[in-house]
Amino acid sequence: MDTLAALLNGFAIAFTPANLLWSLLGVTLGTAIGVLPGIGPALTIALLLPVTFHLDPTAAFIIFGGLYYGAMYGSSTTSILLNTPGETGSIVTAIDGHMMAKKGRAAAALATAAIGSFVAGTIATVGLSFVSPLMVKIALLFGPAEYFSLMILAFVTVSALLGDSTLRGMSSLFIGLAIGLIGIDTQTGQARFTFGLLPLLDGIDVVVVAVGLFALGEAFHVAYRLARAPDELSRVTGSLWMSKSDWSRSWKPWLRGTAIGFPLGSLPAGGTEIPTFLSYLTEKRLSKKPEEFGQGAIEAVAGPEAANNAAVAGVLVPLLSFGLPTSATAAILLAAFQQYGLQPGPMLFSANSTLVWALIASLYLGNFMLLVLNLPLVGLWAKLLLIPRPYLYGGILMFSMLGVFSLNNAVFDLWLLLGIGVVGFLMRQMDYPVAPLVVGLILGPLAEGQFRRAYAIAQGDVSVFFTQPISLALLLVAALCVLGPVILRRMRR
């Protein structure tokens, strides 16, 4: 009951008028940066640090918390409406979310994303309050071998994203894996496939690829079509709001997404992307209409959106209870803590409990505020699609370029973006799915790094992946995902 009392006390602090305003500022700023690809919460918090240093720590962390959650909300909005994921965590959302928008169901997609994010954020914040110490213990059991097996499980999910033709999907995946090899090899520090070009040493940023393939590819495709046929205005058909069947199809994915996102987010190398892939796979496997996936299935928006928000809360678990930064944003939050002379870690909860609980309470608050802010705006956002195509896509091009440029302040990235945009256009023309490419690019380098770490630690003994219990269990689940449907089909015959 101590926890509950401390939490209530935290709420008392978070609910002062001044702190409510800071929270509002945080979520608004967060939504704005989430909308822009390239500008993420890490950069924004870094920019704000010199300013917020003059505030008291509670107010500063209330802003940062709102910002972190807000970014995820904003990013899903652009994924759905404009096919332009602002953060990597909402790449999966773009697949079915944008299809829904095209079919005039933008409002329902936005609503299920917003409510799903709220539900997931709330449950995950409760989890953060009560099971943090336990989660950290589990997370520490994950070493390179376990991570590699987790990546294998994530790779299996790619099959759910492949689309109609396995051959085309696999081609796309392998292009992504190849692009992922570009840059400095993590284990030896040697450059690979950089052709002596300095900007390629750090590899090609996933955001550049995602924005190029999704947003630019789409824009070129639309331009190509408009040149041949007159513009037909996007219709907003059906109810603006979620229908009864939307609700009944959404609530389970929300909960499942949360259950996947929170624990994976709290793993030191979990991130927000892998939970969204796994959630997509889960929903497609469980769905009675898997053929709708890729054509605008609401489950495919509800699940991954809940998963990425829950993962964001998960990232705070190792940060607060162990002082372990597991993402760029967490690293800068750690720097912020240190600026105030606070050291996150096992002692933070006891030494600065008021601050920690105020932060946790303000996360609940930020989530609630985002829902209140976003739901009434859903209809308005959806009207964005009524803008005549040339202007809308002109705006998207501008937006994408600004965002990508701000990533590294490099003109090189803009040329890269353009080149990838053309590739995306060609892939679309020839009916190749682009999502597997992005997945390959994200997972490939991660899986390679973890495999080689595990291999080196075991001094070249591959059996390490099968002798560690967690690793073995993950591999078995992956095998089940591949073989399960085949076996089931056989048995039914």
Partner 1 sequence: MNELTRRQLMKSGVALSTLATLGTLLPQAALALDELTVIAPAAPGGGWDQTARSIQEVLQTSGIVKAVQVDNVPGAGGTVGLAQFANSKGDASKLLVGGLVMVGAILTNKSPVTLKDVTPLARLTGEYEVVVVPAASELNSMADLVAKLKADPGSVSWGGGSAGGTDHILCGLIAKAGGADVTKVNYIAFSGGGEALAAIVGGHVTAGVSGIGEFEAQIKAGELRALAISSPERLPGLDAPTLMEQGLDVELANWRGIFAAGELADGDRQALLDVIDQMVKSDGWKNILSTRGWMDVYLAGDDFASYLTAEDERITAILKEIGLVS
Nearer to partner 1, 351 or 372 (CB): 351
Tokens of 48: 């704000």
> Is residue 433 at the binding interface for partner 1, with CB under 8 A as the rule?
no
> Is residue 317 at the binding interface for partner 1, with CB under 8 A as the rule?
no
- The least CB distance from residue 39 to partner 1, in Å, is 6
Nearer to partner 1, 338 or 429 (CB): 338
From CA 6, how far away is CA 345, in angstroms rounded?
Answer: 18
Tokens 């219709």 — which residue? 235
> Is residue 237 at the binding interface for partner 1, with CB under 8 A as the rule?
no
Nearer to partner 1, 51 or 480 (CB): 51
Binding residue (CB under 8 A) for partner 1 from 167, 190, 376, 430 = 190
* Burial class (CB within 10 angstroms; exposed 0-12, middle 13-18, buried 19+) of 489: exposed
- The least CB distance from residue 67 to partner 1, in Å, is 11
The SS3 call for residue 347 is: coil
From CA 187, how far away is CA 421, in angstroms rounded?
Answer: 31
Element (H, E) at 191: strand 191-192
Please state, as a whole number, how many other Cβ atoms lie within 10 Å of the Cβ of residue 87: 29
Contact between residue 317 and residue 128 where contact means Cβ atoms under 8 Å apart: yes
> Is residue 186 at the binding interface for partner 1, with CB under 8 A as the rule?
yes
Nearer to partner 1, 353 or 408 (CB): 408
From CA 304, how far away is CA 113, in angstroms rounded?
Answer: 9
Binding residue (CB under 8 A) for partner 1 from 42, 111, 215, 478 = 42
97: nearest Cα among 250, 287, 272: 250
Binding mask 121-160 for partner 1 (x = CB under 8 A): ------------------xxxxxx----------------
Tokens 């105030």 — which residue? 340
Binding residue (CB under 8 A) for partner 1 from 373, 405, 422, 470 = 405
> Is residue 441 at the binding interface for partner 1, with CB under 8 A as the rule?
no
> What DSSP line would sit under 98-124, residue for residue?
HHHHHTT-HHHHHHHHHHHHHHHHHHH
Tokens of 402: 């600004």
Binding residue (CB under 8 A) for partner 1 from 296, 344, 424, 433 = 344
> Is residue 395 at the binding interface for partner 1, with CB under 8 A as the rule?
no
Q: What are phi and psi of 201, to 5 degrees?
A: -60, -35
> Is residue 21 at the binding interface for partner 1, with CB under 8 A as the rule?
no
> Is residue 373 at the binding interface for partner 1, with CB under 8 A as the rule?
no
- Sites of contact with partner 1 (CB under 8 A): 29, 32, 36, 39, 42-51, 139-144, 184-191, 198-199, 201-202, 268-269, 318, 322-326, 328, 330-332, 335, 338-339, 341, 343-347, 402-403, 405-406, 408-411, 449, 453, 456-457, 459
